[in-house]
Amino acid sequence: MSVVAAPPWSDGAAARAVHAPLDGDTTADVVVVGAGATGLWTAYYLLEADPALDVLLLEAGTVGSGTSGSTAFGCSAAFPVGPDALARDHGPDDVRALRAALRDTVVEVGGVSAAEEIDCGFTFGGHVTLARSARQAAHLHARAAQALRWEDELHVLDQAGVTAHVRSPQVVAGAWTPDAARLAPARLVHGLARVVGQRGVRLAEGTRALRVSPRAVVTDHGTVRCRHVVRATGASGPGPVAAPVAAVQVPAIATQPLPAATWREIGLARGESFGVAGHVAVHGHRTSDGRLVVTCRAAARAGDTGHRGRLPHAHERLRRTLVDLFPVLADHAVTHAWTTPLGVTRDGYASVGLDRTTGVAWSGGHDHDGVGLANLAGRTLADLLTGVDSPLTGLPWVGHRSPGWPSGLRHLGARATIRGGSWVDRVEERTERAGRVIAALGRDRG
């Protein structure tokens, strides 16, 4: 059977442009650059705040053609920097407020999807993390104690407790959080595009922003004069338009739809997603059409573009990991193998903000947590741009500026940060000893 170099949900409409490119010079109140989850949520909440706003959404490709359309999983309350590290920079009260806002975000995404009749398969199944060594189990205990300090729910499970969610022969313990939902991000972004289009947002696909200036965006199809510009360009960057992120290409695979008997052996019956504990985890979930999809951030390759298709070695390693976790899958085909760009900042922070002098706003650096963060960013940007002084505009990621990557080193640096953790995981699984080098590899995601 041949393997398709794209996600299973991308067949058909997702790749086709529905909206015409910009037709020459124009004006708008707000120009949003990038029609991924961040840009679309921003447009949605701007219109919620003020239905009279003239919002123009510019997209270089098609809606969802960036990371959002090929993301494998769902919405969680995670943030790229762990709460203990955040508290050292911002203090405990700000961190508690951010953690609460992130937990609420999962509920908000489900609520809006239902209210707007966006059929994205939102299922509040939680997330179960598997420990495959005593060291990983100890990590989970430490993380559960940490979660308690920040009012997050993370329940440590013994082997039998894990089995109630998912069955894997090598697992010694686990942990479960309710604050995660499975959904199909591609269907979410296409649904949001439909909703904002019906409310009057103008969408221009096939229109690349070439330069963002105060009160104007120059594109390859004309110049737009505006009061505010929002940069929501995901993993594209850096440059005159995008945030200081480096892109890495993350591999993902999907099995064929699995028979009911196979699912009875694996579990995940309540729509849980799962991960493997460690510094750079493997993640997976069961899709609504019965496939198992799995990805591994640690297998990332450097580069903005160029690996949109298959990375045979990385995908084969991922398939072996999957069979290692679920031996029953040895007899089932992997039908799809693709890569997705991920935007990583040098200090690991995601951020959102508005420069009041220039009128330019942004959100980016969402790393592996962007489905939830895109929604929180959209609500925060709407408050910042409409001048509402809300609890969201005081959260500790607002106004944060990540340092740029040293020129020529950004891809290497991003890849080293991501892949180094996987080496530590392997050492720990084999030797049961903690890798001290992790301290030098990046910030604790906790």
446 near ligand FAD (CB under 6 A): no
- Taking CB under 6 A as the criterion, the residue among 82, 125, 191, 234 binding ligand FAD is 234
- Taking CB under 6 A as the criterion, the residue among 162, 181, 203, 371 binding ligand FAD is 371
- Taking CB under 6 A as the criterion, the residue among 6, 22, 28, 35 binding ligand FAD is 35
From 111-119, 159-167, 234-242, 429-437, give the range in contact with ligand FAD by CB under 6 A. 234-242
Number of H helices, E strands in the chain: 10, 19
Nearer to ligand FAD, 147 or 230 (CB): 230
From 8-16, 48-56, 71-79, 401-409, give the range in contact with ligand FAD by CB under 6 A. 71-79
- Taking CB under 6 A as the criterion, the residue among 77, 118, 209, 325 binding ligand FAD is 209
280 near ligand FAD (CB under 6 A): no
Q: Which residue is nearest to ligand FAD (CB)?
A: 370
Q: Which of residues 15-34 bind ligand FAD (CB under 6 A)?
A: 33-34
- Taking CB under 6 A as the criterion, the residue among 26, 56, 57, 59 binding ligand FAD is 59
Residue type, 54: D
Q: Give min distance, CB of 239 to ligand FAD, in A.
A: 8
* Burial (CB count within 10 angstroms: exposed 0-12, middle 13-18, buried 19+), residue 349: buried
Euclidean distance between CA atoms 273 and 313, whole angstroms: 25
Asked if 26 contacts 56 with a C-beta cutoff of 8 angstroms, the reply is yes
Residues 6+ apart with CB under 8 A from 307: 249, 301, 339
345 near ligand FAD (CB under 6 A): no
Q: Give min distance, CB of 340 to ligand FAD, in A.
A: 4
340 near ligand FAD (CB under 6 A): yes
- Taking CB under 6 A as the criterion, the residue among 26, 136, 168, 236 binding ligand FAD is 236
250 near ligand FAD (CB under 6 A): yes
Euclidean distance between CA atoms 144 and 212, whole angstroms: 43
Q: Give min distance, CB of 260 to ligand FAD, in A.
A: 25
Euclidean distance between CA atoms 374 and 361, whole angstroms: 14
- Taking CB under 6 A as the criterion, the residue among 19, 44, 57, 74 binding ligand FAD is 74
Residues 6+ apart with CB under 8 A from 422: 278, 279, 280, 296, 298, 299
Cis previous bond, 240, omega within 30: no
Euclidean distance between CA atoms 308 and 412, whole angstroms: 18
Would you mind telling me the total number of residues written for the chain in this entry?
A: 446
Euclidean distance between CA atoms 228 and 217, whole angstroms: 10
Euclidean distance between CA atoms 446 and 444, whole angstroms: 5
Asked if 391 contacts 226 with a C-beta cutoff of 8 angstroms, the reply is no
From 126-134, 235-243, 303-311, 430-438, give the range in contact with ligand FAD by CB under 6 A. 235-243
Q: Give min distance, CB of 245 to ligand FAD, in A.
A: 10
Beta strands in 50-137 (DSSP E): 55-58, 74-76, 127-131
Which of 173, 185, 165 is CA-nearest to residue 74?
A: 185
287 near ligand FAD (CB under 6 A): no
Q: Give min distance, CB of 252 to ligand FAD, in A.
A: 5
Residue count, binding to ligand FAD (CB under 6 A): 42
Residues 6+ apart with CB under 8 A from 93: none
For 272, phi then psi, to 5°, come to -65, 145
42 near ligand FAD (CB under 6 A): no
- Taking CB under 6 A as the criterion, the residue among 7, 36, 83, 174 binding ligand FAD is 36
> CA Rg, the chain, in Å?
21
Nearer to ligand FAD, 135 or 419 (CB): 419
Asked if 250 contacts 72 with a C-beta cutoff of 8 angstroms, the reply is no
From 99-107, 143-151, 367-375, 394-402, give the range in contact with ligand FAD by CB under 6 A. 367-375
Interface contacts to ligand FAD, rule CB under 6 A: 33-39, 58-61, 65-68, 71-76, 208-209, 232-236, 241-242, 250, 252, 295, 340, 342, 366, 368-372, 374
